[in-house]
Structure 1
Amino acid sequence: MTAIQERALVKPPSRQAIWAAYAAVAAATVGFLPLHVIWALGIPLFADPERFAVWHADGGGTYLITLNVLAVLPAILALALVRPWGLQFPTWTPIWRGKAVPRALLLVPGYGLAVVLGAYTAFAAVLAVVQWGDPRAIFSPWTGVYGIPQFIIWVAGLTIATTSYARRTAR
């Protein structure tokens, strides 16, 4: 059976899965990236300027650039879970053009990332509480209040979209 025939047998994603995937994309791009790009540029928005400058120069800037680049990948993954190119490689891919996308290629990172982001969200929540009012903290604890809901949306959206993909592509 060709990839096109296999794709025709897969049900389209539910409206809920599509909304969840796009919510995950928004959390990763519109929610996460703006503040982290500002920090990567060395601007201490919602941060102690002196502590931030030391942290940024000591590898924090590189860390933030890496995080920003890596935040784009889960956004692409979330889209792939609900778009046709998550079932069949697009024609512009030179080696895999028209071939079926292996399920594990999306399921393993989808569920794995949901677990890792969920753990990070729990860690960030605890850290926000522990560092609340700590004069040595680099970032304002309000950044946790801003960021944690985004991570919850990101994790939930990715989990729903991945589960939908797993069910739709089960043989």
Structure 2
Amino acid sequence: MTTTEVQHRPQTASVRFIEGAPLVTALAAGLYAIAAIFFLLTYGSLPLVPAEALSHELNGPLGAVLNYVLPSLAMLGSLLGFAIHYRLLPARGLAVGSTVFASVCGAVVLLAVVDSNILATLGYLPFLTVKSLTDPDFIQTALGLPWPIVGHQLVCIIGVTLWILTAAVAVRRSSGACVACGRRSSVAAARRWGTPVTIAAAMIPGVYAVTRFAWAAGIPLGIEQAFLQQMQKTGLVYAGLGLASMALLGVLLTLGLIQRWGSVFPRWIPFLGGRRVPVLLAVIPAGFVSLIAIPAGAEMIRVFTIRGAGGIPIDWANWATIGPTLLWIPWGVLLGAATLAYYLKHRGSCRRCGVNG
């Protein structure tokens, strides 16, 4: 395809967004820096997980450092984003710089800022909804949950995602590949490694779901009978049932990445039956969960270093209390790979360069 044909191909909103990602990232980083400075001047701290929290017992001094590291990274990132958008530096230098910067931001956010709060909120959502409807007093409790911390973590996750996309644009420009698709990965290869990776990704939340369903049924799978009775008295076993339901939903949705009903809506779904599933409808939620699973897994590993932390028995007799969560880091990696394979197989022809496969 000639350059003229590429330039005259109608550009979709998604292609325009990808090409404009560096500018969007620069503006978003600048707004975050301004908001972070406002929080520091007004409240003395960003909405971070408290240093004394169980999940951050190793991060005591880190919180104070993050209050200044995050806005500093945001200001630097804003400048770099503008440089990439307006091509103010050599393409190769921008590609290397953006890749390094995206890696640093990802490491800081996923390992030091984000914990299991987002994943836990998603998992407890059915329980919180039912409890709020059946117990009006519980609404006050729900409002007291760390929503500012969760919101800040979501913002940071979005920032990392924007930087991954921005780095991809810079690298594609440097290599001469299509900015919108960067066609280099083979669909045939994705079909080979995508299936086993997807099955492996589905197995991990499956293990978690089995243990929690067993507890709800009164079976002390992986825990002592005394601890099960304690959870039955406090009602935690029902919260675990909600978590198990969400984990099972995760298993089904993950397997959908390699099943026909993950590509075409089943016939029994009103109005949508028989229509193709939009690629981003599967890619965005799966990619999001793959990102938040990694820091949640890192938190569980930190918690595992404190035996009996928070009154939760952590020993071989109670391996199911935290054991399945220790697999969340590989779960995030596997789910990310499965999502990539799904995207490569279903993205179709590029709306910018016209290349298919």
Q: TM-score, normalised by structure 1?
A: 0.76
Task: Give the CA deviation at 1:37.
Answer: 2.0
Task: Give the CA deviation at 1:50.
Answer: 4.5
Gaps of 5+ in 1: 1-10
1:18 match: secondary structure: helix
Are the counterparts in 2 of residues 44 and 53 from structure 1 also a CA contact under 8 Å? no
Cα deviation code 1:53-104 (max 9, x no counterpart): 3343223112110011111111111112122222221223232111121122
1:14 match: secondary structure: helix
- After TM superposition, the structure 1 = structure 2 runs for residues 107-122 of structure 1, keeping only pairs within 5 Å, are 107-122=283-298
Aligned partner letter, 2:300:
A
1:85 match: secondary structure: helix
1:106 aligns with 2:278: no
Task: Give the CA deviation at 1:119.
Answer: 2.2
Q: Which residue of 1 aligns with 2:324?
A: 147
Q: Which residue of 2 aligns with 1:76?
A: 252
Q: Which residue of 2 aligns with 1:17?
A: 194
Q: Which residue of 1 aligns with 2:262?
A: 86
C-alpha change, 1:108 and 1:141, in structure 2 (3 Å) is farther
Q: Which residue of 1 aligns with 2:76?
A: none
- Distance in 2 (CA, whole Å) between partners of 1:99 and 1:114 is 26
Task: Give the CA deviation at 1:138.
Answer: 2.7
1:165 aligns with 2:342: yes
Q: TM-score, normalised by structure 2?
A: 0.39
Q: In terms of Rg, which structure is larger?
A: 2
- Distance in 2 (CA, whole Å) between partners of 1:117 and 1:136 is 21
C-alpha change, 1:159 and 1:46, in structure 2 (3 Å) is same
- Distance in 2 (CA, whole Å) between partners of 1:116 and 1:95 is 32
Specify which of 26, 35, 39 is matched with residue 215 of structure 2.
39
Are the counterparts in 1 of residues 209 and 245 from structure 2 also a CA contact under 8 Å? no
Task: Give the CA deviation at 1:46.
Answer: 4.5
- Distance in 1 (CA, whole Å) between partners of 2:309 and 2:330 is 30
Task: Give the CA deviation at 1:137.
Answer: 3.2
State the identity %. Answer: 23
- Distance in 1 (CA, whole Å) between partners of 2:266 and 2:309 is 52
- Distance in 2 (CA, whole Å) between partners of 1:147 and 1:117 is 12
Are the counterparts in 2 of residues 87 and 101 from structure 1 also a CA contact under 8 Å? yes
Stretch of structure 1 that moved more, 155-164 or 41-50: 41-50
Cα deviation code 1:28-65 (max 9, x no counterpart): 22x22232222223444554654553343223112110
Higher relative contact order (CA 8 A, sep 6+): 1
Specify which of 228, 234, 253 is matched with residue 58 of structure 1.
234
Aligned partner letter, 1:140:
I
Are the counterparts in 1 of residues 300 and 326 from structure 2 also a CA contact under 8 Å? no
Are the counterparts in 1 of residues 210 and 244 from structure 2 also a CA contact under 8 Å? no
Cα deviation code 1:84-136 (max 9, x no counterpart): 22222122323211112112211121011112222221111111112x2x387
Gaps of 5+ in 2: 1-186, 351-357
